Structure 1
Amino acid sequence: MISTKEDLKNVIELEKKGYGRNSLIRRYLRELRICEYYKNRGGVTWLLFKLHNFYRNRLGLRLGFEIPLNVFGKGLHIFHTGNIIINGTSSVGEYCNIIGSTCLGSKNGGNGPTLGDHCELGMNSVVIGNVQIGNNVYIGAGAVVTKSFKQDGVSLAGVPAKVVSHFKIDESSN
């Protein structure tokens, strides 16, 4: 959660890597983090929040993103535009990669999924319901996850998703 100006600066600097200077995704992520900062800060910053939230929503419509505030940890990286829908009750750890056309949703109005750190969501992947996903998990393209997978270092694929491989986690790269 971004609560200080220093946190905001560090997260924006981290997340701009890998995008071109005029990338719309980079601008969207910047506005998302600025909105989170002003929302968490509270006080008399409501006007700045409204301004940045308006711009974030406009960019989101253009890109196809529907990402609520305070869901993702630092290091979010989005590779492609188009239909990224995230439920507001979801929680995602640090350094998440989203390939594109991804949905994190709730089932029957319940809570959304909880993903650990260093997760990657493949193209057209769907995670539905109050499920927990461990750290360093790759959810393959087209996978539909409807139950919890708390193991670290696994790849999930299929409909419904199941573990298709385990991989060793290099602790020095975290």
Structure 2
Amino acid sequence: MIKSKTDYLEYLERDRKALKVIKQNFLKQLVVDFFFPNVIYIFQRKLRKVEYYKNTQTNIFRKMIYLYFYRDYRNYQLKLGFSIPPNTCGPGLSIAHYGTIVINGNAKIGANCRVHIAVNIGATGGTKKAPFIGDNVYIGPGVKIFGDIKIANGTTIGANAVVNRSVLEENTVIVGVPAKKVK
């Protein structure tokens, strides 16, 4: 969770590296961003800025800044088809494509996770308990993860899998409906 300006800058840098966005000199970067904007990286920067202002607001002026950035962030969410609440994803988040991605506000996703299109991470049966996903997890296209479950570090979840049970063994591959360990 972003609690300081240092955390904010670290999250931005790790997200940039995870998305493989190349740092260039200022003028070249302006031209590239103008003609070929990386909309996912722009979204993630907006997400991190909202998290920073939400977690560090101390007075009415900062609250107003937060509301301004939140409005901009919400517009980008609608534009790209994402529903990713602040403070759910750790640093190094890599969103592979824009399109439908829905994450419950109570879910927690660890560092260096890769999320593909048509992913749904949520609660089940009207409860507020949502999944806890560890670090370095690959979530393939069309994956559904729901319930009060834990996904261990280094897990790879294959395309269109439905995960409704905890995966406690690290560095495993799970696939299928319902998801089962294959490797």
TM-score by length of 1: 0.92
1:122 is matched with 140
| Mapping 1:163-174, distance limit 5 Å | 163-165=181-183
Distance, in Å, in 2 between the alignment partners of 1:132 and 1:91 is 10
| Mapping 1:95-110, distance limit 5 Å | 95-110=112-127
Q: Secondary structure at the match of 1:104?
A: strand
The unaligned stretches of length 5 or more in structure 2 are 23-32
**Structure 1 residue 74 and structure 2 residue 85: aligned?**
no
**Structure 1 residue 36 and structure 2 residue 51: aligned?**
yes
2:13 is matched with 13
Indicate which of 73, 89, 99 corresponds to 2:106: 89
What letter corresponds to residue 12 of structure 1 in structure 2? L
Cα RMSD (Å): 1.1
Q: Percent identity?
A: 34
The answer as to whether partners of 2:16 and 2:92 remain within 8 angstroms in 1 is: no
Structure 1 residue ranges (4+ consecutive) displaced by more than 4 angstroms after TM superposition: none
**Structure 1 residue 25 and structure 2 residue 60: aligned?**
no
Q: Give the paired residue count.
A: 165
1:170 is matched with none
Indicate which of 28, 46, 68 corresponds to 1:51: 68
Cα shift readout 1:64-112 (whole Å, capped 9, x = no counterpart):
0000111111100001011100001101111110121101010022211
What letter corresponds to residue 49 of structure 1 in structure 2? Y
Distance, in Å, in 2 between the alignment partners of 1:16 and 1:152 is 26
